[in-house]
């Protein structure tokens, strides 16, 4: 909501503008009334909406037309005061004041107007019959209040309605001419319905309605109140209630009813709780709750609660329970977003099933990747999904863990991180892209059907090291760089890929290593790709094996993705292990016992993981 409200009172001389303000402040009718009251500020703690309110008077005798125009442009709401016993002051509402206000405000952001009929104590009739056609003619008029400064009738109500017109405006929500909600309001409430529909069955059951009620109004609905609400919907809307739950149609009807009955603050409370601003756009403070300070050598990861939330989102959209998201299911999941956040390149970044659909593991991997590379984007995405609301957290920032400095990990010789980045270097045609895709279980045959325009320079999946599930993020670095960026240097391990069948391929890897990584503590591994082809002597002063020995690296690892089934993943386990334990000595890396412990652990936990997954699937 706005941080304050500025109310301007205008109208013909002698209609009682100043008397209204003074009666509100002193709670008695003033015997001596000046031409104009000084601007007053009502503190937040004495206003119904807990917002500071500034009340500004206007006097034709003391102010110029320029000063009036300035005040109109600054006002959040304008009260046009007329005297109910003065026909001329009523006529001036439409002949002078409304046109003047419209001339001084932008057409697409008209300021709300309250019509105020003062001096009701002097007549026995109401002016409403005269005013009603005016209200129907001008959509910017929120309401009309008849009052009396002399006997204090409706004085507090007048300023409450003025405040309400600013904090809970009707304009963005409802079109009175068409007697229905505006498209932007329908769109926002539809997203709110979908976020609140925790099982995605298209119905808000009693549990979901109670959670929604507690979330927005801090109190559940009694059983009888719930039934009363549903009965009202049943009587007015076909298909508004289904299986004793509220449908989207019924949900939208209820909010239309609230607005039509003047209770639009109810709808605004819901909209603001779900992050919307006065223009019915998701507020920047909601989407980006804070700027996370990521110190050097620290990274960002999702915590356990965030993964549980994302798992629940996957579950509610995986309608056929095949542990993968079809294009329709993925579109449904992202229906609460203003745009489609994942392009076709994502399908080549994470694991997919045989039909090319993103699997459960691939889905979590992509979220992990986004959090690691662009945490602000991750916060935005979680905001669209309603993370802070459904998880009952203060903001999406509660989903993020900032890891400790990598230098501390090196000192303690252990790490608490779950995501490790491996930058992959190699000359053109060396097999880098194939190496990335093989990590996702794709052999050369499957890789050949991937469209070049949808190719990704990232690949992320899980690897098991000593029984711990970790994420390995592979990033292919362009071979024609001039200078390495900080991102290309800031990784946990470097992978240098050369084509074992190309005699000129290794030289590039040697040059990159010597120029950028020889004097760093970043572990490096040499990959002899395309090992299914005839190995060729490399045209370099040292053989790859001699080069690795000289620079205390593990021996080159033979690798091919030209296999009948999925390529072997042992190399990725080794990379993850080296990234987790950069302090491991060269002797350990050469030890077959060391790698046996790693590979056996990976196999055991992969089998256990699959078994647990089957159990969870049955439970689902």
Residue 273 has which token pair? 């709780």
- 589-596's contacts with Cβ under 8 Å and 24+ in sequence apart are 589/554, 590/554, 590/555
Among candidate residues 95, 155, 94, the one with its CA nearest the CA of residue 119: 155
Distance CA 361, CA 363 (A): 5
DSSP E strand boundaries for 414-453: 419-425
Contact 170, 255 (CB under 8 A): no
| Six token digits for residue 241 | 């209630």
pLDDT of residue 614: 46
DSSP-assigned beta bridge partners for residue 324: 359
Q: What is the mean pLDDT of residues 507-511?
A: 95
Please state, in angstroms and rounded to a whole number, the distance separating the CA atoms of residues 364 and 395.
20
- Mean pLDDT of all residues in 309-330: 96
Q: What does residue 599 show for φ and ψ, rounded to 5 degrees? A: -70, -40
pLDDT for the residue 397? 93
Burial class from Cβ neighbours inside 10 Å (0-12, 13-18, 19+) for residue 249 reads middle
| Beta bridge partners of residue 495, listed in sequence order | 424, 525
The pLDDT, as a whole number, for residue 591 is 53
- What confidence tier does 32 reach under pLDDT thresholds 50, 70, 90? confident
Q: What is the mean pLDDT of residues 259-285?
A: 93
CATH top-level class for 286-403?
Answer: mainly alpha
Q: What is the pLDDT of residues 217-230, one digit of tens each?
A: 998 888 999 999 99
Per the CB < 8 A criterion, the answer to whether 366 and 358 are in contact is yes
Do 501 and 533 form a contact (C-beta atoms < 8 A)? yes
Q: Which CATH number is associated with domain 177-281?
A: 1.10.238.10
- β-bridge mates for residue 259, sequence order: none
- The CA distance from 583 to 493, in Å, is 12
Asked if residue 107 has pLDDT above 80, the reply is no
pLDDT, averaged across the chain = 90
- The pLDDT value recorded for residue 470 is 97
Q: Residues of 30-48 as b/e, b for ≥16 C-beta within 10 angstroms? A: beebeebbeeeebeeeebe
The string over 275-312, giving b where at least 16 C-beta atoms fall within 10 Å of a residue's C-beta and e elsewhere, is bbbbebebeeebbbbeeeeeeeeebbbbeeebbebbee
Whole-number CA gyration radius for the chain? 34
Confidence at residue 612, expressed as pLDDT on a 0 to 100 scale: 46
Distance CA 444, CA 456 (A): 16
Q: How confident is the model at residue 1 (pLDDT cuts 50, 70, 90)?
A: low
Report the C-alpha dihedral over residues 335, 337, 338, 339, rounded to 10 degrees. Answer: -80
Cα angle: 18, vertex 20, 23; to 5 degrees? 105
Q: What is the pLDDT of residues 562-588, one digit of tens each?
A: 999 999 999 999 999 999 998 764 445
Q: How many residues does the chain have?
A: 620
SS (H, E, C) 128-196: HHHHHHHHHHCCCEEEEEECECCCCECHHHHHHHHHHHHHCCCCCCEECCCCEECHHHHHHHHHHHHHH
Dihedral class, residue 16 (left if φ above 0, else alpha if ψ from -120 to 50, else beta): left
9: left (phi > 0), else alpha (psi -120 to 50), else beta?
beta
Residues 528-559: b if buried by 16+ CB within 10 A, e if exposed: bbbbeeeeeebebeeebeebbeebebbebbeb
Q: How far apart are CA 398 and CA 305, in angstroms?
A: 9
- DSSP-derived 3-state class of residue 505: helix
Separation of alpha carbons 436 and 72, rounded Å: 62
pLDDT at 584: 67
Among 342, 341, 340, 333, smallest CA distance to 315 is for: 333
Between 37-51, 467-481, 584-598, the lowest mean confidence (pLDDT) is in 584-598
412-586 shares the fold of 5-167 = yes
CATH fold label, 412-586: Rossmann fold (3.40.50)
- From residue 478, alpha-carbon distances to 428, 456, 485, 488, 492 in Å are 8, 12, 11, 10, 18
Chain-centre distance of CA 161, in angstroms? 33
Higher pLDDT, 433 or 454: 433
Return the higher-pLDDT residue of 454 and 388.
388
CATH number of 5-167: 3.40.50.300
Domain segments of the chain as ranges = 5-167, 177-281, 286-403, 412-586
Reported as a single tens digit per residue, the pLDDT across 452-504 is: 888 899 999 999 998 899 999 999 998 877 778 877 788 999 999 999 999 99
Write down the pLDDT at residue 588.
Answer: 55
| pLDDT confidence of residue 596 | 52
Cα separation of 188 and 168, whole Å?
Answer: 15
What's the whole-number mean pLDDT along residues 331-338? 97
At 585 the pLDDT is 47
Closest of 52, 57, 22, 23 to residue 39, by C-alpha: 57
Q: CB under 8 Å to 102, separation ≥6 — which residues?
A: 110, 140
């Amino acid at each position: 909501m706005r941080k304050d409200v500025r109310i301007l009172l205008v109208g013909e001389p002698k209609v009682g503008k100043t008397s209204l303000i003074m009666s509100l402040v002193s709670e008695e009718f003033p015997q001596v009334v000046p031409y104009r009251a000084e601007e007053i500020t009502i503190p937040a703690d004495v206003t119904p909406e807990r917002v500071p309110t500034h009340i500004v008077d206007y006097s034709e005798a003391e102010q110029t037309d320029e000063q009036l125009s300035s005040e109109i442009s600054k006002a959040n709401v304008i009260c046009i005061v007329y005297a109910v016993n003065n026909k001329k002051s009523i006529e001036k509402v439409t002949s002078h004041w409304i046109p003047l206000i419209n001339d001084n405000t932008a057409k697409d952001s008209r300021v709300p107007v309250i019509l105020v009929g003062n001096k009701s104590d002097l007549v026995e009739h109401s002016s409403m019959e005269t005013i009603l056609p005016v209200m129907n003619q001008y959509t910017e008029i929120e309401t009309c209040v008849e009052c009396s400064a002399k006997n204090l009738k409706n004085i507090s109500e007048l300023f409450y309605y003025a405040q309400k017109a600013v904090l809970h405006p009707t304009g963005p929500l409802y079109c009175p001419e068409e007697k229905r909600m505006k498209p932007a309001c329908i769109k926002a409430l539809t997203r709110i319905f979908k976020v609140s529909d925790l099982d995605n069955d298209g119905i808000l059951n009693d549990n979901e309605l109670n959670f929604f009620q507690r979330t927005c109004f801090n109190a559940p609905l009694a059983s009888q109140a719930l039934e009363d609400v549903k009965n009202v919907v049943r009587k007015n809307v076909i298909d508004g209630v289904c299986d004793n739950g509220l449908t989207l149609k019924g949900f939208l009807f209820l909010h239309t009813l609230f607005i039509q009955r003047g209770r639009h603050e109810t709808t605004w409370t819901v909209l603001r709780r779900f992050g919307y601003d006065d223009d019915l756009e998701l507020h920047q403070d909601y989407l980006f709750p804070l700027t996370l300070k990521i110190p050097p050598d620290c990274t960002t990861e999702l915590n356990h609660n965030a993964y549980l939330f994302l798992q629940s989102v996957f579950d509610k959209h995986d309608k056929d329970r095949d542990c993968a998201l079809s294009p329709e299911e993925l579109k449904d999941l992202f229906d609460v977003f203003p745009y489609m956040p994942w392009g076709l390149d994502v399908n080549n970044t994470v694991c997919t099933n045989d039909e090319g659909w993103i699997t459960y593991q691939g889905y979590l991997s992509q979220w992990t990747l986004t959090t690691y590379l662009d945490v602000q984007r991750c916060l935005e995405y979680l905001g669209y999904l309603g993370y802070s609301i459904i998880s009952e957290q203060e903001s999406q920032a509660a989903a993020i863990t900032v890891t400790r400095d990598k230098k501390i990990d090196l000192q303690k010789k252990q790490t608490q991180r779950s995501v490790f980045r491996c930058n992959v270097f190699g000359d053109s045609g060396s097999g880098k892209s194939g190496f990335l895709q093989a990590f996702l279980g794709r052999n050369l045959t499957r890789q050949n059907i991937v469209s070049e325009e949808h190719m990704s320079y990232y690949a992320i999946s899980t690897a098991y090291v000593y029984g711990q599930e970790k994420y390995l993020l592979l990033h292919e670095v362009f071979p024609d760089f001039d200078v390495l960026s900080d991102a290309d240097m800031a990784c946990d391990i470097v992978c240098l890929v050369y084509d074992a069948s190309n005699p000129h391929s290794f030289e590039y890897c040697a040059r990159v290593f010597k120029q950028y990584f020889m004097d760093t503590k970043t572990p490096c591994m040499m990959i002899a790709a395309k090992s299914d082809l005839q190995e060729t002597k490399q045209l370099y002063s040292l053989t790859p094996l001699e080069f690795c020995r000289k620079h205390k690296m593990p021996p080159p690892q033979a690798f091919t993705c030209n296999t009948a089934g999925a390529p072997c993943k042992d190399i990725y386990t080794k990379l993850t292990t080296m990234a987790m334990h950069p302090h491991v000595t060269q002797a350990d890396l050469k030890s077959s016992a060391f790698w046996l412990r790693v590979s056996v652990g990976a196999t055991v936990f992969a089998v256990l993981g699959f078994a647990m997954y089957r159990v969870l699937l049955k439970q689902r």
